[in-house]
Structure 1
Amino acid sequence: MKVFWASIEYKYNGNPMKGGFVYVFVKANSETDAYERITSEFQNLKLSISVIEFLTQYDKSTKWNSASETKHYMDIYNSASISNSCVFDTFYAYEHE
């Protein structure tokens, strides 16, 4: 299995004016499998997906802006590689006016 990651914009079910974005990592056999796991997890969280900005296999050699960011995302990658669930980064929320 591979670890995929996605950048997702979401909305709260029942309140389309509130939403946010989050990175999510998931172990899956394919992009289709990853998509199904992610959408199921969002349904369980009572969130709806507005936009999937990208969904792709995570490249472990990705360099971020700092060593601490690179370590942070590798830690999430490593957690996802041993989990059967989605592993989320920080949820960032916003409200439309």
Structure 2
Amino acid sequence: MSRYAIEPGGVASVLAGVDSDLGDLASHDAAVLAAAEASLAAVGSSKARPGLERFLDAYRTTVPGLHEGITAAHVAAMSATQAYVDADAEMAAKTPSPDSGAGR
């Protein structure tokens, strides 16, 4: 049997870092969208406009999709960590201590 351990504080720390990066992603996304909108205004009705519009249409859903996926993974990681902690506590409660005299 192999040993493994989950450090709930470590999981929380990693997820806090992910949350911070997710905030950065949102601000960068806003900057890209603003630049794309400015580009549309700059090109007017030129031949470049349809390509920029297609890019912008596709891009508008990319970061929100990433955000949803990352948020779902965050929730899953926290749920899995809590399940581990709960199971560990349950096992500990059911395991007799060496001082209890069980098994003698």
Instruction: Calculate the TM-score normalised by the size of structure 1.
Output: 0.27
- The structure having more radius of gyration, on CA atoms, is 2
Higher helix proportion: 2
Richer in strand (by share) = 1
